[in-house]
Amino acid sequence: MFSPMDSFMFNAMPVFVGIVFVIVICGFVFSIGKSVQQYAANKEKPVETVPARVITKRPHTWGGAGESSAHTSYYVTFELENGERIEMPVNGSFYGMHAEGDIGMLTHQGTQLMSFERERI
C-alpha cells in the first residue's frame, strides 16, 4: 500500500528533475550569451597598437575535485601609456613567456589580445 507521502514524492520527483534541468540549461545559455556579447563588443572596437607594460599575471584554476581534472585559465594585465589598465585572457604559452615588467607594443581589439611584441633590452 502506498502512503500519501509516497504518492506525493512519486508525483513531485519529475517536477524537481525538470526544475534542475531548466536551471542548468539557463546557465549554459547565459554563459554562451555572455561570450557572444563580449565577442561582438570586441569586434566593434578598432584594432590598436600601443606601447604597454605587463603589470600583473594571474592564473585561475578550477575543478580537480574527486575524479575530475583541474583546469587553468591565464590572465595578464597590461598598463598603457595613458595609465589605463586592461586585463586579457592569454594562453599558457604566452603566460609562461612573459614576465611582470616586460615592455613592448600591444596590439589588441577591445579585450582581445592580438599580439605583444616585447622590446629587446
Q: Where are the domains of the chain?
A: 1-44, 46-118
Write the pLDDT tens digit of every residue in 30-80. Answer: 999 998 998 898 889 999 999 999 999 999 998 888 888 999 999 999 999
**Rounded to an integer, what distance in angstroms lies between the CA atom of residue 86 and that of residue 79?**
7
**Rounded to an integer, what distance in angstroms lies between the CA atom of residue 13 and that of residue 25?**
18
User: What is the pTM assigned to this prediction?
Assistant: 0.71
Q: Which helix (H) or strand (E) holds 38?
A: helix 4-44
User: In the CATH hierarchy, which top-level class contains the domain 46-118?
Assistant: mainly beta
End-to-end CA distance of the chain: 84
| DSSP sequence for 78-104 | EEETTS-EEEEEE-HHHHHH--TT-EE
Rg, Å, the chain Cα set: 23
Separation in Å, CA 116 to CA 56, 95, 104, 108? 15, 11, 7, 9
**Rounded to an integer, what distance in angstroms lies between the CA atom of residue 51 and that of residue 41?**
22
Which of the residue ranges 4-8, 12-16, 76-80 has the most confident prediction, judged by mean pLDDT? 76-80
Which of the residue ranges 15-19, 32-36, 101-105 has the most confident prediction, judged by mean pLDDT? 101-105
